[in-house]
Amino acid sequence: MTVHPEKEPLLSLFIADDHKLVRDGLKVLIERTGRFRLAGEAADGRALVEGVLDLRPDVVLADMAMAELNGIDATRQLRSAGYKGTIVMLSMHDERRTISQAIAAGVNAYVHKDHAFDQVIKAIDAARRGETWLSPQLALMADGSHVHTLLELLTMREREVLQLFAEGYGTKEVASQLHLSPKTVEIHRLNLFSKLKVNNVIELTKIAIKEGMIQL
């Protein structure tokens, strides 16, 4: 009697990107491998955190620049909440400080979006083996040392408030999004001004763009 080896179970995968075209392309790619099943998807960072903590997929593919909560801060929240799966970050940013922030937050692999469809499976496999994987085009930029950024001065909540203000939300809207009082949001805004040495939301927005939190 011929004994057939058991087929490996499919890995559950969650995709987060604010562009539906990218999500659909990634779904086609992973389906072709026959190794994954789609657990869920999200179009913004908050939906990513909620979905992953609810579904606990094996692998997360997440865009860096997402609305409401960027990929790096979403990763921080997931790791703080105990999520131990593989997180692969997709990004157009190739600055050393952004790569350093992502790895420090708990990202297992960092793939430049220009090469995502060629490299994402390699990145997942390497990360699942316990390696920290970077697109070859970016590897020379990450020498293993930590690059300090202005965002390290901020608490997680302050980073959330900063991103929402930078995206154009007003105080009441930020309060509603984060389930805070408008007074508390104003305190966070003043703390941001003080820590980052700026005087208005326009200057806050410039910092958010420079640090890769949002895209124009």
Which tens digit of pLDDT belongs to each residue from 60-116? 999 998 999 999 999 999 999 999 999 999 988 777 778 888 888 999 999 988 888
Tokens of residue 143, six digits: 């020498």
Is pLDDT at 211 greater than 90 in this prediction?
no
Q: What average pLDDT score do residues 111-139 get?
A: 87
11-139 topology per CATH: Rossmann fold (3.40.50)
pLDDT tens across 6-39, in order? 667 899 999 999 999 999 999 999 889 999 999 9
Under 8 Å between Cβ of 14 and 39: yes
Distances (CA, A) of 118 to 75, 123, 135, 188: 23, 10, 10, 42
pLDDT tens across 137-191, in order? 676 555 555 556 677 788 889 989 999 999 899 999 999 999 999 999 999 999 9
Query: What are the boundaries of each domain within the chain?
Result: 11-139, 150-210
Under 8 Å between Cβ of 57 and 12: yes
CATH code of the domain occupying 150-210: 1.10.10.10
Q: What average pLDDT score do residues 109-134 get?
A: 90
The model's pTM: 0.79
Is pLDDT at 3 greater than 50 in this prediction?
no
